[in-house]
Every structure is written in structure tokens, then in C-alpha cells.
Amino acid sequence: MQVEATALSDVKLIVPSRHGDARGWFSETFRADWFAAHVAPIEFVQENHSRSAEIGTLRGLHFQTPPRGQAKLVRCLAGAIWDVAVDIRTDSPTYGQYAAAELTADNGHQLLVPIGFAHGFVTLTADCEVAYKVSDYYAPESDGGIAWDDPALALPWPLPPGGPVLSGKDKLHPVLADLANPFTL
């Protein structure tokens, strides 16, 4: 596995090695000891799996507030997504900035989204499946989000004509400037 830098120093792209032969390939996608030594000493406690049927399904931008903040390690199991992490730590020098990566079943890349970052993705293909490990359990009372289309963020979502497919909840998130923000460095 390799660690690659992104536009934000705290957000990391993990590139697992693949070993192939005539049968296909094999890849170690996570090792706690390697991750702690080369990325961050994060203990993941839950793994989530989503499926999105349509191209342009947008999920985000989500986070959990302290004391139940979640770091996420995201990978695409089927199809392709544009994955993004936005720094929402109020005293961070990169507050309001983002890092993004294309995660696909073919490339096997993973994105580490630390606590204090909002996370979202849009599907680039139909029938996408995404899995992500999280460092704390889901806590509905700590669930939060910011508007995917916040003009101040100016995220370059690669959307199909007609715009994204959104949940009702994701249509209602505030812009970052209006967020009662509990995150600091």
C-alpha cells in the first residue's frame, strides 16, 4: 500500500497494491498495523455499505459532531465516484477548502476523511457500491451536514445534465457559513 498526498494535508489517498495473475487479482485493502504506522492511529469500529442505482446520485456533505466525530476510510466497490472532503474546522488554515479523488472499483483507491471534515460523493456510473469504515458508531443526535451546493465552497461536482439525485435530508443542509460549527483543530 502507498499513501499519496491530496490538496489538503490531513486528507490522504490510500493506494493498495494489487497482485494479479490469470485468475484476476488480490489486494490487501486494510491492515491496522500498517495504517497506524503510515497514515494515522485511527481505530475503525463500524463499516457501512451503500448502493446507488443512478448516475449523479449525490450523498453529502455529511459529518458527525463531537464527541461522536467520525473519521472515514472510503472506497468504491462497484462503479466509480467523485469523492470529496471539506475542511470544516473553524481555526484551520484550510477551512472551507476541499480535497477530492475519483475512487473506482478498477483503481481500488481509498480516501481518508478525518474528523472535522464534511464528506460527500457523487456517482459517475450507475449501480455504484461504496463501503467505508468509520471511527465511531452512528449517533443520530450528532448527525450533521452542509449544503452540497454551497456557493462559497464552489465544489466542481461532475454532475450529469439535470443535476444530482438527492435525498430529502441532503436538500436541507445549511451552507457552511450558517453552520453552528463545533469543530476546531
Q: Decide: 64 and 140 in contact? Cβ < 8 Å.
A: no
Longest CA span, the chain: 54
Active site residue 109: no
Q: Decide: 81 and 123 in contact? Cβ < 8 Å.
A: yes
- The 10 Å Cβ neighbour count of residue 129 is 16
Grid coordinates given for 1:
500500500
- Active-site position among 62, 109, 119, 173: 62
Active site residue 138: no
- Active-site position among 19, 132, 138, 173: 132
Return the closest-CA partner of residue 73 out of 14, 26, 139, 140. Answer: 14
Catalytic residues: 62, 132
